Amino acid sequence: MAVNGGQATIAKIIPHDAADIMEYWEGLAVVGKGHISGVDTVASDGSLRVRLSTPTSTGGDMKFLVKKAKLAEAKTLVERLVSNLDQGMPPSDSETRLLFSLLETTPH
């Protein structure tokens, strides 16, 4: 987890397109799955949080806002992406397009 002035940072990711999602996951693939400590859903704000165990070039923990009623589907997909990273496989274009389709793409 990235630390800034003694406080953990969580970056809210609002992608412009599927390429933004691909860039984030490619960054995680470079540093390895060992930096990912978990994937959580936060029902109160409809977000999905990717927890990192140590700071990486992609920053600290990442929070994605998910479309209503798509939180479980997004979590399942992200868990699969994390599992694939563990096996050395980056996400496919279709996976990143699917994840993008599940996310809110306007700031709240």
Q: 49-75 burial by CB neighbour count: b if 16+ within 10 A, else e?
A: bbbbeebbebbbbbbbbbeeebbeebb
State the average pLDDT for the chain: 80
Structure pTM?
0.78
Parent domain of 24: 3-102
| 22 in a structural domain | yes
Q: How many CB atoms lie within 10 A of CB 41?
A: 16
Residue 71: per-residue pLDDT: 93
| 11 in a structural domain | yes
| 67 in a structural domain | yes
| 66 in a structural domain | yes
Residue 36: per-residue pLDDT: 80
Q: How many domains does the chain have?
A: 1
Q: Residue 98: pLDDT above 90? A: yes
| 108 in a structural domain | no
| 79 in a structural domain | yes
| 80 in a structural domain | yes
| 30 in a structural domain | yes
pLDDT in tens, 35-61: 788 888 888 889 998 888 765 555 667
